[in-house]
Amino acid sequence: QVQLVESGGGVVQPGRSLRLSCAASGFTFSSYGMHWVRQAPGKGLEWVAVMWYDGGNRYYADSVKGRFTISRDNSKNTLYLQMESLRVEDTAVYYCARDQGQIMVVVGSFDYWGQGILVTVSS
Amino acid sequence: EIVMTQSPATLSVSPGERATLSCRASQTVNSNLAWYQQKPGQAPRLLIYGASTRATGIPARFSGSGSGTDFTLTISSLQSEDFAVYYCQQYNNWPPWTFGQGTKVEIK
């Protein structure tokens, strides 16, 4: 069965960095686009970033552009989110999510989600 | 950026009753609209994609309709496990992919 497991969260001071990982299993990871979506405490869902199946394309929300970097290692079935210059407003549960499309197609609907990992930015 | 607006913010429904949730897009998203269910402490779950296609394993009491800018999620007979927050999301114009603010379905 499809599994996505995030790790790397925690408490970090404003301005510092953190790297999240998402370990995938149960499907051919290299065939799917992958996204990060976040949810601030008590708030709704916010799309953060996407990377195409082969790493060829990546896009970011304006709120994180220039500070966050999405990457993947298809040999390790792992998705990453490098977060720099963290702000208090980046505090959220971060989910990795599989795109519903396959191979060259990114659809933008999310058919499987990890359990989420909490990132708290606080001094 | 396409803004998604859901109504109502909270819907109070008795078990066994029908629930109707609305989602409006600030411009057309054709049928590129998904619905997700989220229970407290859990990740969202895909319910509907393509505005009206149920995802794998989703019960038939969930149905989606609409196209263009106005969409509806209907739960025909609410079960106890259906009380949750529901989000719509457009994937027609991107980036960014955008979500509505959510509708909480609570027990009346």
Tell me how far apart the alpha carbons of residues B72 and B33 are, in angstroms, rounded to a whole number.
10
pLDDT at site A70: 98
CB atoms within 10 A of CB B3: 12
**In tens digits, what is the pLDDT along chain B, a chain of 108 residues?**
999 999 999 999 999 999 999 999 999 999 999 999 999 999 999 999 999 999 999 999 999 999 999 999 999 999 999 999 999 999 999 999 999 999 999 988
Residues of chain A with pLDDT under 50: none
The pLDDT value given to residue A56? 87
Q: Is A61 on the interface with B (CB under 8 A)?
A: yes
Best mutation target among B45, B87, B94, B97 (most A Cβ atoms within 10 Å) is B97
From CA B51, how far away is CA B33, in angstroms rounded?
A: 5
Nearest chain B residue to A95 by CA: give it.
Answer: B43
Identify all chain B residues contacting A105, using CB atoms and an 8 Å cutoff: none
- pLDDT given at position A103: 72
> What pLDDT score was predicted for residue B108?
87
Q: For residue A102, what pLDDT is reported?
A: 75
For residue A51, what are the contacts with CB-CB under 8 A and spacing of at least 6? A33, A34, A35, A57, A58, A70, A71, A72, A79
pLDDT given at position B104: 98
Nearest-angstrom CA–CA distance, A111 and A95: 12
Residues of B with Cβ-Cβ distance to A35 under 8 angstroms = 97
Q: Which of A89, A83, A107, A87 is nearest to A97 (CA)?
A: A107
Interface size A-B, in CB pairs within 8 Å, comes to 61
| pLDDT at residue B53 in the model | 97
